[in-house]
Amino acid sequence: MKLTLKIWRQKNSSDKGGFATYPVDHVSKDMSFLEMLDVLNEELTEKGEDPVHFDHDCREGICGMCSLYINGKPHGPLQTTTCQLHMRSFNDGETITIEPWRAKAFPVVKDLVVDREAFDRIIQAGGYVNVNTGGVPDANEIPVAKTIADLAMDAAQCIGCGACVAACKNASAMLFTSAKVSQLALLPQGQVERKTRAEKMVAQMDAEGFGACTNTGACEAECPKGISITNIARMNREYFSAVMSSDNV
Amino acid sequence: MSWVTKTLKSTLGRKLIMALTGLFLILFLTGHVSGNMLLFKNDGGEAFNIYAKFMTTNPAVKVLSYLTYISVIAHVIYSIILSRQNKSARPIGYAESKASTNSRWASRNMGILGTIILIFLVVHMQSFWAQMHWGDLPVVTYDGEEYKDLYSIVNFAFQNIFMVIGYVVAMAFLAFHLSHGFASAFQTLGWNHKKYSPAIKAIGQFYCIVVPVLFAAMPLYIYFTS
Ligand code: HEM
Ligand code: SF4
Ligand code: FES
C-alpha cells in the first residue's frame, strides 16, 4: 500500500505545532497501525530527522497507553485501540490524518503524545478502597451476586485511554470517571468510601478542566472497551445522593 | 463555599439545573399546547378568550407562570455557563472530525437550537404575552362579563404569511431540541434503567413530534381558514 500521512508535529508543549505530510510506501495490509508508524520513524531516523513521537506500551489492547485521533475518530475507524487497528482498515492511496487527543486537561507533550495525568489525579482523589491489612481473606468470604459482579467488571474494563474525552464535543471525562466510580460503588468492598468517592472524583474531574456531559453518546460509541453511558447515569445518582446525605458540609 | 453552592457550581449540579428546568418547560409546553387547542374551536374565539383570562388571573396559574419564567431564565443562563465551560475544555479543535458517525446532530447542536428557540420566545412573548398583560386590547362581552379579545390579536397576527412561516420553522427547531433533550434530561437525573429507558426514549420521540406539530398547526389553521 502507498499512503500519505498528515501528522501533527509539535516540538513541545509551548510550541505552536502544525501538520507535516509524509508519503509512505510498501505498507502491508497486515501491519498494525503502530507498526506502520514504526516504519515511518525508521525512515525518518535514517534521514537524520526527528521521529514522530506517539504513546504505546502493551500493543495488545489492554494498557490504554496508545491514543491518536485518526481520520476524525479516536483510535481510528474501528471501535478498538489504535494498537489493535490494522492497515487493512485503510485503502491504498489514502491520506490519513493523525492528530493528538484534544483537551485542555490533556496538554500535548510532543507531537502526538499528550499528558493524561489528569486521569491519575481523578483516581487518586477517590478511585480506591481502604482495606485492613492482615491475613489473606478467604475466597468467597464476601458474597457478590453474579449480576452485580458482571456490571462491576464491565465498568472495570476501562483502560483509561482517554478516547471518550477525545471523542466528546465537550472534552468531558464523564465516561472514564463514571466507570471508575461505578466499579467500586457496585461492590461491597467499595461501600466504605462510597459517598466521599463520588464527591471527590467529580470535584477532581471538574478541577482538571474537563467539560460537562451533553449526553451525546459519542464516548460510548468510540470507547474501545464498550463502556456504557449507563455508568454516567449511575455516577449522577451516586453524586446527587452523596451531596444530599454525606457529612461534608 | 457551602455544600449547596459547591454542588450547583459542579458540572453535575449545572446539568441538574438544565435537566430540571428543561423538564419543567416540557410540562409547561404540554399545558400550553393543550389550552391553545381551543384556537381550533369554531366559536369566534370565545373559549380561547375565556381561557386566556383564566390563565392571567387565576392565582394558582400565577405560581406556575412564575416558575416557568424562572425556568426559562435559569435554563438559558446555565446553557451559557455550560457552553462556555465546554468550549474552554477544548481550546484547540480537530482538523478533521467525524462526529456524525458517533452522535446525533441535535445532541451536538443544543446550543444553536436553543438560541433560535430563545429568539422565537422573545418575538412570541412580545406579540401575545405582552399584549395580553399590558396591551390595549379590544374588549368582548360574553354573558355580561368583559374579556380582552386576545383571539383577535392572534387571528390578525397569523394573516401574515411571514409570521406563519416563522412559527412553523421555530417549531421545527423546538422538535430537534426536544428530540435530544427529552431523554437526555432523564439520563442527567440518573434515570437510566433497562425497564424504563426504552419507554422514556419512545415517549420523547413521540412528544418531540406531536407537540411542535400541534403548535405549528395553529398558525397554519388560522391562515388557511380565515
Ligand atoms: C421551551 C423551551 C425549551 C425546552 C422545553 C427545553 C428543554 C431542554 C431539555 C429537556 C434539555 C436536556 C437537559 C439535559 O440534558 O439534562 C435541554 C438542554 C439544553 N437546552 Fe433547552 N429547552 C428549551 C429552551 C432552551 C433555550 C431558550 C435555550 C438557550 C438559549 C436552551 C439551551 C439548551 C442547551 C444548550 C441544552 C444542552 C445543555 C447541555 O447538556 O450541555 N434551551 N433543553
Ligand atoms: S471509558 Fe473507554 S474510552 Fe474512556 S478511558 Fe475508559 S476505556 Fe478509554
Ligand atoms: S498500546 Fe496498550 S492498549 Fe494500545
Total structural domains within chain B: 1
| Nearest CA-CA partner of A205 in A227, A183, A230, A236 | A236
CB B89 within 8 A of CB B82: no
Residue in the block written with cell 485503510: A90
* Whether B190 and A233 lie within 8 Å, measured CB to CB: yes
Which residues of chain A have a CB within 8 Å of the CB of B192? Answer: 229-230, 232-234
What residue type is B55 in one-letter code? M
Which residues of chain B have a CB within 8 Å of the CB of A234? Answer: 190, 192
pLDDT confidence band for B25 (50 / 70 / 90): very high
Which class for A86: exposed (0-12), middle (13-18), buried (19 or more C-beta within 10 A)? middle
pLDDT confidence band for B77 (50 / 70 / 90): very high
Helix/strand number for chain A, H first, E second: 8, 7
The domains found in chain A, sorted by start residue, are 3-110 (3.10.20.30), 117-245 (1.10.1060.10)
Is A179 in the B-facing interface, judged by CB distances under 8 Å? no
- Interface of B to A at Cβ within 8 Å reads 2-3, 7, 10-16, 82, 85-86, 88-99, 101-104, 107-108, 110, 180, 183-184, 187-192
From residue B113, give the alpha-carbon distance in Å to each of A77, A249, B155, B216. Answer: 29, 38, 27, 17
Q: Tens digit of pLDDT for each residue in B170-221?
A: 999 999 999 999 999 999 999 999 999 999 999 999 999 999 999 999 999 9
Polymer length of chain B: 226
Could you list the residue range(s) of the whole structural domain that residue B39 is in? Answer: 3-225
Q: Could you tell me whether strands A73-74 and A95-99 are parallel, antiparallel, or unpaired per DSSP bridges?
A: unpaired
In the prediction, which pLDDT does B69 show? 97
Atom of ligand 2 nearest to the CA of A175: 1
Residue of A nearest to B2 (CA): A249
C-alpha span between B81 and B83 (Å, rounded): 6
Which cell numbers in the block locate residue B84? 462556555
Q: How far is CA A111 from the centre of its chain?
A: 18
Three-class secondary structure of residue B63 per DSSP: helix
Residue in the block written with cell 471525562: A173
What residue type is A19 in one-letter code? F
Which residues of chain A have a CB within 8 Å of the CB of B89? Answer: 103-105, 170-172, 209-211
Atom of ligand 3 nearest to the CA of A83: 4
* Whether A202 and B184 lie within 8 Å, measured CB to CB: no
* Whether A236 and B90 lie within 8 Å, measured CB to CB: no
Atom of ligand 2 nearest to the CA of A222: 3
In the prediction, which pLDDT does A94 show? 97
Q: Could you tell me whether strands A69-70 and A95-99 are parallel, antiparallel, or unpaired per DSSP bridges?
A: antiparallel
Three-class secondary structure of residue A21 per DSSP: strand
C-alpha span between B48 and B55 (Å, rounded): 10
Average pLDDT, consecutive stretches of 10 residues, N- to C-terminus, chain A (249 residues): 97 96 96 97 97 98 98 97 98 98 98 98 95 83 94 98 98 98 96 95 98 98 98 98 90
Per DSSP, the residues of B139-156 read EEEETTEEEE-HHHHHHH
In the prediction, which pLDDT does A191 show? 94
Three-class secondary structure of residue A131 per DSSP: coil
Does B32 sit in the ligand 1 pocket, CB within 6 Å? no
Q: Tens digit of pLDDT for each residue in A146-182?
A: 999 999 999 999 999 999 999 999 999 999 999 999 9
Atom of ligand 3 nearest to the CA of A81: 4
In the prediction, which pLDDT does A131 show? 81
C-alpha span between A118 and A115 (Å, rounded): 8
Q: What angle do CA B170, B172, B177 make, to 5 degrees?
A: 95
Does A181 sit in the ligand 3 pocket, CB within 6 Å? no
Which cell numbers in the block locate residue A136? 489473606
How many other CB atoms are there within 10 angstroms of residue B93's CB atom?
Answer: 11
**A67: CA distance to ligand 3 center in Å?**
8
| Gap from A62 CA to chain B (nearest CA, Å) | 23
* Whether B10 and A206 lie within 8 Å, measured CB to CB: yes
* Whether A171 and B90 lie within 8 Å, measured CB to CB: yes
Does B177 sit in the ligand 1 pocket, CB within 6 Å? yes
Predicted-complex ipTM score:
0.93
Q: How far is CA A90 from the centre of its chain?
A: 23
Which cell numbers in the block locate residue B159? 394573516
Chain A residues 198-217 with a CB less than 8 Å from chain B = 202-203, 205-206, 209-217
| Nearest CA-CA partner of B124 in B86, B87, B72 | B72
Q: What is the DSSP letter of A84?
A: G
CATH number where B86 lies? 1.20.1300.10
Give phi and psi for A167, each to the nearest 5: -80, -30
**In chain A, where do the E strands start and end?**
3-9, 18-24, 69-70, 73-74, 95-99, 108-110, 113-114
Instruction: Provide the edge-to-edge strand list for the sheet that holds A3-9.
Output: A18-24, A3-9, A95-99, A69-70, A73-74
